[in-house]
Structure 1
Amino acid sequence: MVAATPEWVRLGLVAGGVATVAIAGIFIAGVRLFPTAPRQSDQQFDGDGRRRGEIREYLDSIGERYVEDHALDAESVAFYLPARDVAITFDPRTFYRLGETETHPVLVEYEMPSVNLGYRLPFVTPEPERDRDRREQYQREMAESGGDHRPTRDAYETLGVPTTASETEIRTAYRNRVKEVHPDHGGDEEAFRRVQEAYATATQ
C-alpha cells in the first residue's frame, strides 16, 4: 500500500514531520532559554487584600483591638472589634443580617477611603495625625472662603435629621437611609453615594 502512495504524498508527510519536530525543538529551546517569570501573588492585586491592609492600618492607628475573619451569628466578617461588639464587613447581605442582632455592623465599600471608616464606627475615635492635618486644612479653607456651611446643612437634610441631631440619631438615620437606597436592594447608585457623603459630612 505504501508503494501505491504517490511520491508527492510521501514527500509531504516527511516534510510535515520534519517541520513539526523543528517547531517543537524551537519551542523547547525557547522555554529553556527564556523561562517565564514566576507569577506575582494574586494577593498583590486583590482589592480585598488592599482594603484589609488599609483598615488594619487605620485600626492600629487608633489603638483599636480587632480580630480578622471572625465567625459571628453564622456570618463571617472581615474584622470584629470585641471590646465594642462591632463587625466590619464588605458584604451588604452580611451587613443587613447583622443589623437585626445586638452587634453593630459597619459596611465598607471597596471604593471607600479608609479615612472614612472612623465616621461609620459607632463610637468616638481618636483622630489620626494625618486626618487632623486634613481637617485643619479644611477649616482654614472654610475660613478663607467666608465659612459657607451649606454642605453641612445639605448633609443633614439628605439624612432626614435636624442640624441639632445627636451622633446616635445621625447614625440611626444613616443606617435607615442606606437600607432604602443601597443598589443591592434596588436603590440608586447616585443616591447611595450622596447618603454616604452626607454621613461623612454630618459626623465630621
Structure 2
Amino acid sequence: MPWPYRLQCFDCHTQFPAQTTNYRCEKCGGLLEVTFRISRRKVPWTKRGLSVWRYRELLPVDNDRFITTLAEGGTGLLHCPRLGRELGLKRLYVKNEGENPTGSFKDRGMTVALSKARELGKRKVVCASTGNTAASLAAYSARAGLKCVVIVPEGKVAAGKMLQVVIHGARIFQVRGDFDEAMRAVVTLTEHRKGFYLMNSLNPFRLEGQKTLAYE
C-alpha cells in the first residue's frame, strides 16, 4: 500500500481525491500533481531488490492486484572514466535506461500510470508520441489487456519504435504536423470520448513512476 496521498493543483493548490481521473484542475485549469504524506519512520524498502516497485509506498496505486509490470527499473550504472576526465569529474557513472523492457526510461512511468488506469476502471488508453512513449504504452497495454491507441506525427517516428507498437497490437493514427499536433489530437479525443484515458506526462500518476530513476 502507498503512503496516504492526494492530487493537488500545481498552480492554485486546490486538492482533489486520490481517485480523480482528471489531469487538470477544475478550478483554474492547472496541472495536477501527486502529493504524499510521507511517513517519518525508517524507510521500508532498504532490503528490497532494485525495481520501480521497490518504492511501493511512493507509488499511487492502492491495490496490488492492479499492478502491471514488465520488470522495469533497477538499471545499471556504467563507469565512464574518459568522459569524466573531460568534464573534470573524478568518478562519473551513467544510468543505462536502455535496460528497461522497451528500451527507455518511459517504462518507469508507464508501469505506474497503466496500473492506475486499471485501478480507475479504464479499458482504453491513448498517447501522443514520437517513439518511446508509444512503444512503452503499447507494451504495457498488451500486458494488461487494455486497448491502446497511439497518435504520432506522420513520418517522424523511428521505424524500430513503430515496430514495437505494431507487435504489441496497438492502433496507430498519424497526423500531419509535429508532436504538438499529435498531442492536441489526443486531448481532443479524451475530451470527446470519455472512455479514453490520457497517458502522456500530463498524467500525474505517470510522473511518480519516472521519479524512481532519482530514487535509485
TM-score normalised by L of structure 1:
0.27
TM-score normalised by L of structure 2:
0.26
Quick check: which has more Rg, 1 or 2? 1
Structure with more of its chain in helix, by fraction: 1
